[in-house]
Chain A
Amino acid sequence: MAGKIQSLTEEERAHVLPMLRSAQWVEVGGRDAIYKEFVFKDFNQAFGFMSRVALRAEKMDHHPEWFNVYNKVQITLSTHDCGGLSQRDVSLATFIDQVSLM
């Protein structure tokens, strides 16, 4: 990664966190990260979702931490480089939300 990823400023946090919270993202305790759980109809749906997210993550070069069991996907977003949330997490989170609705 060229250049260090900046963690979200307080201003930005004040702006985006409410949005994310309303979208069911929760802040993880003990670390600067956001988490959300998705439940799909079945594994296919879930994995299709994950595929889309994966493709996007590759494109962004920003990858989620996630777990999947059958139709459930648990995602944790955080930026390793800055040790906390960054703009990338926010944009990926919004993308994930969009995709999960497909």
Chain B
Amino acid sequence: MEGDERAGGVKVRPGRLTALQEQLIWALLESGLSRDILVQAVGEMEKNRASVGAERGERGDGESSEEGETDFPPPIFREIEKLPADEVSKLRTEVDQLLQEEPWHVAKMVKSYMQQHNLPQREVVESTGLNQSHLSQHLNKGTPMKNQKRAALYSWYVKKQYEISQQFTNAKHGLTMVEEQGDESKKGRRNRFKWGPASLQILFQAYERQKNPSKEEREGLVEECNRAECLQRGVSPSQLAGLGSNLVTEVRVYNWFANRRKEDAFKHRLSLDTPYANQSASSNTALSASPEHGVKFTQQMSGDTVSSARGNGGERAGRLMVSPIQLEPSHTLLESHNPKLVSSSGPLPPVSTLTSLHSLSASPASSQSLIMASVPGVMSLGESSLLIGLASTQPQTVPVINNMGGGFTTLQPISFQQQLHASHQQPISQQLQGHMAASPLMATMAQLPYHMYKSDSPPYHSSSLLSQAMVIADSSGLGTLTSLAAVRQILTTDPEEQTDPPLQEDSMHLQPHTPVPASSESLELYSSSQTTERHQSLLLSPSQTDISSYMPTQMVSTAQ
């Protein structure tokens, strides 16, 4: 009573099914279920059940037919194998062929396919068990990958191609096939939507024409984008289902425009803050406005600054980190070389900027600790005071300070907006180099939107002068001193460069004039006072040329 005899068309390979399975399948087939529908339904159901090991006892033959496979073929392979019987053999053949090819060639193919269809690496990692870093390196840089793992990758690749072609095909027939196969566990069966480059181009162009499109216009853009995405994937624009989770919808277009508008508003606000230019009023406003925001950013900024500072050569950056805390504007300094960071002026930055911000602040530099080391007494004091302001939890001492008290560091960020402009010209600016980084924040922000997408570091220019100026304005003696140092540094600092030596020298200079206790005091005072007033007072005075003279004056007062 073998049901096989009834096999109308393709015969199932007996080796892959148990007798009962065969029986059941035949029963289904004979019950009026067409083979195609059965196959599709099977695929769908299996995807729905996630990668549960619903082993049907056919695994041995899996993709991992690699000789010398040390461990048990990754369970994830099962998912790869859950395919219509005849398809499996086809796909396996393809995988074998790919394995014969040159790994780098295939890697390029896979990578470009992923780009074309906007597939996240995460999906590959989840369904193959490969290490994401290894995968990324293999695809982008050609880092070697063992055969068994390549087999897993290629299996995913061929399977994905099959799935996507099914999606596109079914779109024609109005069926929705397996949507996103194998990515359920974490994402609830759907990959996160991602804008493709083609769509972005369309959107940005539309944005230039009009920032607030009506629903009809948005819908038009939806069509346009989906068409472009389909073309990019080499399919007919009418087969939208194949786009899967990257299908552009009206809601997504709406959100995109809303986010861009927010970004613009934020940028605008930043640019308002930046041109501080000796305007007490404006600075006042700006200053008062920024504190709250500043704090927030400070946290992030410190993290970011530290990280950026590190990249730049640490010390100076480190100092920056510390100081800004207390001064609102300082956060900008912290920003340092982090173009992505958005200075905290005004309300929270647009979503995208925040995202980058967070990512940036992820790396708390230990520069703070460095500071600690150098001048224990003052340093610690300075740090603590500085830390107060710093939202960031990581004590990031700025090693830069070395000889100077923490105050220096703090104040440095204050920098001088004005001076920043002149920074390139001032010899003293060396020390300020690190701080310069902070100022760029402002400038950076302006370019934010595009950074978001291109992750470029926009050249930042002295924009955060305002904040810096404010810092300098601190009435406390030490604060002043520090600011001077900061100013000097900023003045001479070239945003893109960072040289350490000058800083220290300056520090040394200042140090003799600044008795430790005094420093501490001022630091404390400084930290506790977060009013803009103080900031203002000093802010306006220093000009490029004045700085040098400024310093001695300050020092004197400090010495008191």
Chain A: residues with CB nearer than 8 A to chain B? 40-45, 47-49, 51-52, 54-56, 59, 99-102
Contact = CB atoms under 8 A, between A and B. Distances in A.
Contacts of A45: 1, 19, 23
Contact of B27 (A42, A52, A100, A101): A52
Interface string B1-17: 11101100000000000
A44 B31 contact: no
B289 to A, nearest CB: 72
Contact of A48 (B5, B20, B32): B20
Given A101-B1, A102-B3, A102-B5, A44 B23 contact: yes
Contacts of B19: 42, 44-45, 48
A100 B2 CA distance: 10
B26 interface: yes
Given A49-B1, A102-B1, A44 B6 contact: no
Contact of A59 (B1, B6, B20, B32): B32
B30 A52 contact: yes
B23 A47 contact: yes
B31 A43 contact: no
A12 B148 CA distance: 68
Given A101-B1, A102-B3, A55 B18 contact: no
Contacts of B28: 51, 55
Interface residues of B, number: 17
Contacts of A101: 1
Contact of B23 (A51, A56, A59): A51
A69 to B, nearest CB: 16
Contacts of B23: 44-45, 47-49, 51
Given A52-B27, A55-B28, A59-B32, A47 B1 contact: no
A5 B342 CA distance: 79
A97 B28 CA distance: 18
A56 B27 CA distance: 10
A51 B1 contact: no
B27 A48 contact: yes
A47 B30 contact: no
Interface in B10-67: 18-20, 22-24, 26-28, 30-32
A55 B27 contact: yes
A87 B11 CA distance: 36
Nearest to A43: B20
A44 B20 contact: yes
Contact of A51 (B2, B6, B18, B27): B27
Contacts of A52: 26-27, 30-31
B18 A44 contact: yes
Interface in B252-295: none
Contacts of A102: 1-3, 5-6, 26
Nearest to B5: A102
Nearest to A50: B27
Contacts of B22: 44, 48
18 contacts: A40-B1, A41-B1, A42-B19, A43-B20, A47-B20, A47-B23, A48-B23, A48-B24, A49-B1, A51-B23, A51-B24, A52-B27, A56-B31, A99-B30, A100-B1, A102-B1, A102-B2, A102-B3
A100 to B, nearest CB: 7
A48 B3 CA distance: 9
Q: Which 3 A-B pairs have the closest CB atoms?
A: A48-B23, A55-B31, A51-B27
Contacts of A100: 1
A28 B23 CA distance: 30
Contacts of B27: 48, 51-52, 54-55
Nearest to A99: B30
A59 B31 contact: yes
A99 B20 CA distance: 15
A49 B20 CA distance: 10
A93 B274 CA distance: 90
A48 B26 contact: yes
A43 B24 CA distance: 12
A54 to B, nearest CB: 8
Given A48-B1, A51-B28, A102-B5, 17 more contacts: A43-B20, A44-B18, A44-B19, A45-B23, A47-B23, A47-B24, A48-B23, A49-B1, A51-B24, A54-B27, A55-B28, A55-B31, A59-B32, A102-B1, A102-B2, A102-B3, A102-B26
Contacts of A51: 23-24, 27-28
